[in-house]
Structure 1
């Protein structure tokens, strides 16, 4: 489980600090903007939707830039911007200021993730997906550790408590950048003769994978948003169980991420993992459909079982996404392709919450079954889509194994 000494351990430490702050901020952000700043909840939701849409423009250009000047340099710049935008939330006093700052923060975050994905591919060497699985485990632990700290600020309930926590989160971006300086700057890889510029945008098989990956990532929306709203609107389950679902999701991820990640490293394995993810998510949604009937203890038990199954499905989707996002991308354009994959994920994240809540809360149990059918259909497409993408990769073997990063792409300068 422990990352290797050197660049891998430094990148894990940097990411851990960053996500520790994120765990604190995410848990209090909605309460801060509504209760302290005084922005109505609906306007906060609208502002975040606008910010999420704006963030879509950040990933692909940042990935291209990371390919040309080096991923660490791009990530350091984005961390500086996020330090400023996070601190800027302290001075928010109206909806339009909130929306502008949130949009800038989301654009920087999308750019950061694209550059970070490229850096992970270089630091991870011959097995970037496995390294990313390890990294995911540590950042999940960081988010869990940050949440109780947020609970203290919520319990105190003063503006000073919220502002202190936000500024601490801003400081984590600085610490993250300082730790990132211990990771070597990898030089750009030369573009092979005949390789196209902006190849990712014209790569239909990879775009199909990115879209499918985005759809299956909506399992995260189910556990983070739909289930808590379902608890309060359609069940007799105590609202405190929503916190248990949040914790359960991270516990399942921490326990399963590395064992599953070790089994998903080729195109064929990635396709099967997407299929398993979709079918498991469908099963979890079917279970959740029954959580509104019966006595309270039965509803709680069924709900936690369904949430655990959906959380496990999310781990399969993450493992598949890690492996395929790296394995299907050419070495010289990892950033560009990571950006396209993130575009698929971010598009789903922007559109998914409204669609899924309207479906499930609007139709009740039948909505869960419709959602289950959608996940199952997306999962069943996994092997076909990834097989198509794998066959189109230069250098991919006929066995369906994705082309792996070359030695030149995985060694430090």
Structure 2
């Protein structure tokens, strides 16, 4: 007869195959990520539209105000990284959600372009804090392959929650009720407030251990190695020396450059496909929407399982091969003009499938690298720099697509292919430079899991 131990072992193996992380004691954390993502998804249809519906501002004024607020928020990213390193990612996540709650409620007070910029600045500051703190928060929960499982599991959950929230928000707006926009903003603020409470009392002990005092006999973390996921257990340093440590670390510099180039590939499903397929190639308007839906469904259904299958592969190698898949996506889309419309539709879905597999393989590995490659005492600072690479692509990507998509399509694909290849090669190079930090294989069995968490 099989006892409880055998049943637990079978359950553990089943969770391994599905890529589900160790969630015991983490229910509030999972609920917080799902609730926050639901609120964001609900608000997405209103992201730009809200101020046009509730104020007398013009499209041009809202557009200029949004761009100005985005530029003003850029210097906040390194400050957010310093806050994470000083007070820990848990406190920063709570502050992020409190600030987001205040910012969204202040949406209801906007009546001029100046107030628009101020309110958007508050919300964008909260976003900068989130991306500097969330990966570090998860890195305090898990290590090794378990860390990748956490990132994969939450990525899939967030996609599901955002899609559900988007459907709810779209239905409220489609109802024609005049108060729908205000209700959505209030609900989004409410989800941020509840998320702040859940992160403040997560149900398990999460400690941000400060870097130990300097050991004069210890190797320089810039030159020396460390553990697989903790390249440097850290040494207490001043803020200036932490930044200098990152600036002197060649692996970190290569990673930042690789990330800055590689993230341009993420423009394909959201910006490039709608413009290229509909405006340039004249294909049906439903095609990019269904392609994006396919991408989201694949992430929800297959993200965790795929990450589990890649658990024994080096992170840098996974990212490099993901860039190859995304290069295949670029090549297929570049061939679209020479194909018939029917064949072109099949090719588009094939390209999106290739991209989705590359995205699912790369995202957990990239996030894990970002959270563990830097010395412990500078983790938040490095994550803040990583978040800025996404901001750079978000700002410059639409201009790149707008200037090249219609008249210089081949140049657009060539630029995108070059950036994607450079990103993959950069991660490969960084893995060769510091294999103990990026390239060490990861265990896949449950023995790499942390001990059962203590409740607070």
| Structure 2 length-normalised TM | 0.79
Q: Which residue in the other structure is 1:4 paired with?
A: 22
What is the rounded CA distance, in whole Å, between the counterparts of 2:66 and 2:267 in structure 1?
15
Q: SS of the residue aligned with 1:352?
A: helix
Shift of 1:343: 2.6
Q: Which residue in the other structure is 2:83 paired with?
A: 65
* Map 1:199-210 → 2, pairs under 5 A: 199-210=245-256
Gaps of 5+ in 2: 1-18, 216-234
Change (3 A) 1:407 1:20: closer
Change (3 A) 1:251 1:261: same
Deviation by residue 1:177-211 (Cα, 9 ceiling, x = unmatched): 12223323414323351544413344332132123
Q: SS of the residue aligned with 1:217?
A: helix
What is the rounded CA distance, in whole Å, between the counterparts of 1:218 and 1:340 in structure 2?
16
- The match for 1:224 among 270, 273, 276 is 270
Give the number of the structure whose alpha-carbon radius of gyration is greater: 2
Gaps of 5+ in 1: none
Q: Which residue in the other structure is 2:46 paired with?
A: 28
What is the rounded CA distance, in whole Å, between the counterparts of 1:303 and 1:33 in structure 2?
35
Shift of 1:138: 0.9
What is the rounded CA distance, in whole Å, between the counterparts of 1:25 and 1:147 in structure 2?
7
| Structure 1 length-normalised TM | 0.87
Asked if the contact 2:103/2:123 (under 8 Å) is kept, the reply is yes
Q: SS of the residue aligned with 1:123?
A: coil
What is the rounded CA distance, in whole Å, between the counterparts of 1:133 and 1:369 in structure 2?
30
Deviation by residue 1:17-42 (Cα, 9 ceiling, x = unmatched): 00011111112323333455454444
Change (3 A) 1:150 1:346: same
Shift of 1:365: 4.1
Q: Which residue in the other structure is 2:6 paired with?
A: none
* Map 1:4-403 → 2, pairs under 5 A: 4-37=22-55, 39-126=57-144, 127-183=146-202, 184-193=205-214, 195=235, 196=237, 197-198=241-242, 199-262=245-308, 269-292=314-337, 295-388=340-433, 390=434, 396=436, 400-401=439-440
- Give me the CA root mean square deviation: 3.1
Asked if the contact 2:57/2:113 (under 8 Å) is kept, the reply is yes
Which one is further off, 115-124 or 291-300? 291-300
Asked if the contact 1:27/1:150 (under 8 Å) is kept, the reply is yes
Asked if the contact 1:63/1:339 (under 8 Å) is kept, the reply is yes
What is the rounded CA distance, in whole Å, between the counterparts of 1:74 and 1:373 in structure 2?
36
Asked if the contact 1:133/1:257 (under 8 Å) is kept, the reply is yes
What is the rounded CA distance, in whole Å, between the counterparts of 1:385 and 1:323 in structure 2?
14
What is the rounded CA distance, in whole Å, between the counterparts of 2:442 and 2:423 in structure 1?
24
Shift of 1:403: 11
Change (3 A) 1:372 1:167: same
What is the rounded CA distance, in whole Å, between the counterparts of 1:146 and 1:293 in structure 2?
39
Q: How many residues align?
A: 405
What is the rounded CA distance, in whole Å, between the counterparts of 1:50 and 1:379 in structure 2?
32
Asked if the contact 1:133/1:261 (under 8 Å) is kept, the reply is yes
Change (3 A) 1:67 1:411: farther
What is the rounded CA distance, in whole Å, between the counterparts of 2:74 and 2:32 in structure 1?
24
What is the rounded CA distance, in whole Å, between the counterparts of 1:89 and 1:386 in structure 2?
45
Q: SS of the residue aligned with 2:210?
A: coil
Change (3 A) 1:296 1:162: farther
Q: SS of the residue aligned with 2:297?
A: helix
Asked if the contact 1:71/1:185 (under 8 Å) is kept, the reply is no
Shift of 1:233: 1.2
What is the rounded CA distance, in whole Å, between the counterparts of 2:370 and 2:48 in structure 1?
32
What is the rounded CA distance, in whole Å, between the counterparts of 1:157 and 1:369 in structure 2?
44
What is the rounded CA distance, in whole Å, between the counterparts of 2:358 and 2:91 in structure 1?
35
